[in-house]
Structure 1
Amino acid sequence: MYCGLFWFNSESFSLWAEPSKTEKMYKVDLPVDPSVENAVKMRRSAETARRARIFNTRLRVMGLDLDAINQQVQEKKHHQNMEKQRDKAFDKLREYHGEALLQQDIDGREKRAALHTDLTKYWATHQRVEDTRDADLQCGLKGAFRITIPEDKLGPASMTIFQGEDIGEEQRRREQKKKTDRDLRAQKEDNERRLLGDKHRGLTVSCSPQAAEQTETLKERHWREERENLAEMQHTLTSDMMTECAEAAAREAGGGSLPLVLVDRWRGMTPEQLSGIHREREEQRLERQRQREGKKIQDAACELQLLKLSREAEEEESRAEELRRQKRIQTDRYNMQLAGEQQAYQEYLNKKLYTNKPSKDYFDQFNTSSR
């Protein structure tokens, strides 16, 4: 509430009159219009909101569309809810399929167990071991068919299994399989030969003059081969092939060339040939030794050259390292000089140039009003 100050005079009332000695001052509370106070509050709140809006860099530079942002938030929530519902539906479907597969597996096992039980019952009822032909041997005469004929009157034909029988059953089966394969292969080859014979007979019937001529040619060739074989046998028996003479294995060749060696009569080398081989081998050994010595000399020269080159490279590397060290020293000195100059300049700025720093009141005087 606002208060007004008035000076009261006994004779008259005067507003903002200069008081006299006889005047008295009284405090009077006058009613204030609430609309004026509300208008002032509204202006102050509007000014505060305007200042917050103008001095907010993000709102001033970028701007915000609250309706669009709220719509985006609602759409994002809607999409998230839809994804959650879809995931729940997929989870339920996966559980349903898993239960169905599990139930199917259980039913299959139960069905197989029932089939196995029925099969076992069938075996136990209709295919018993006691009912087989060899029940007296397999079951130890338990539940087997009893033969009423005495054993002393039974002959070898009444025996089922003999002692030592089926010891090599696996081997016998393999041999039977191999024999069957051989028989099949032989039958196949026999059929092929029979077909070829039939074909050949057909060709012979159709070409009888050519067949007669071919037969005469074969007979003549056979007679000539027999004559040559007999001549070779006679030559072998009458020649000096079986002798130990070395000259028998050599045969002179025309044109001044070396004598040929008959391999079927050769009985070893002569002393001259052996001495020639030894002499040539010694020459090869000496030549190989000279080559090894030359290789050693060449390797030593190469090692000396490599040692010289490596020494020169080390010296060059040491000189380059010394140059780099000198350059680093110069760079460090220059950097220290620059650092000193920079530090001196910074001290000059801080102690002499920038001595009158602005206070907080200096910055608070700005942006106090939006007008």
Structure 2
Amino acid sequence: MYKVDIQADTKDAAVIEARRNREKQRQSRIFNARYCKMGVDVESLKRQVEERKLRDEAEKQRSEAFDAYRVRYDKIAQMLEEEECQRRKQLNQAMVEFWEREQQPFMRREWDIHDPDAARKDFPARVSDDDPRCGPSSMQRFDGEDVNAQAKIKLQKELNKLTLGHQISQREKDLNDQKYADILDDKKRIELDLRALELTRLEEECRKAKAMAVADFNRAQAAEIAEQQRLAHQREQDDNFTEIHNHLTSNILMESPDLAQSVMGSHRVITSSWKGMTRAQLEAVQKTQAEQCKENQRLREEERQRDAEWDRQRHLADRAAMEMDAQEQNFRQQLRKGLDDYNRELAEAQKAK
């Protein structure tokens, strides 16, 4: 598995910045005496719902992309592991066949010492007059008894010739075996280089995918901030035009006799001409304030739950990244250990020759 870094700091900073912007907008609506309204701001709630849906959709697409990449890399790792198992099996089979073909007990130099049938294969002390084992110290043949000296010399030359030919063929065989071992070593080295290149390419693709995801998230966040600024500017202009219009059409300028009645609604009055609220109006205001307190508590609870869910998701992502790092490290250690074992076995086989 391969390493996947999720930039938690950037994500946390974006969440904090969005929260601050929402708090500033809420304060501007609450503490603005000219536009403060009793009740719930339906437009703001709708806008928050839409923003939450967009964030959830973006997060879902991002999670699906990461899941697809993770499944793909798992399949690639399984394929590489199966190929490695097949190669090891073939190498072990070749080594066993080599042992059975080239390293039999009777091929050893000291086989004549450890041969269990040596007594049955041995010859008597003297077979004939030309027995080559009967030397001066054998007390089996004395000077003057050797009548086949020329034949023995000829036989010795033929034996030397056969021995030399056997040594030459053995030398050629050893050279061919060394050349074959070198070819196998070169092929193994090339295969390991290709595998390292493949791993590097996969890591680069993962890094590019992560960079693209971060760039898409940043562009979406920048577009969202720009749209919020545009809407804030538009609302400010609308508020300014509304204020100008209210001043132009106010009761003071129009000299209306009904000075205590506000043009903003039946529930709005002019404080300079207002004589006080009725008991029913006071009860309605208290009821509205209680509902607003409950709504604020509910919104704070939802905000706390969202923050807890973000923290849990971030913790899961960090733990997944750590597990992928550990798996990648374990895979590299196993690969290195297998290569060391293979090189050690080759060295031992060459020493045994």
Please indicate, yes or no, whether the TM-score normalized by the shorter chain is above 0.5: no
Higher relative contact order (CA 8 A, sep 6+): 2
**TM-score of the two chains, using structure 2 as the length reference:** 0.25
Instruction: Specify which structure has the higher proportion of helix.
Output: 2
Q: Which has the larger radius of gyration?
A: 1
Instruction: Specify which structure has the higher proportion of strand.
Output: 1
**TM-score of the two chains, using structure 1 as the length reference:** 0.24
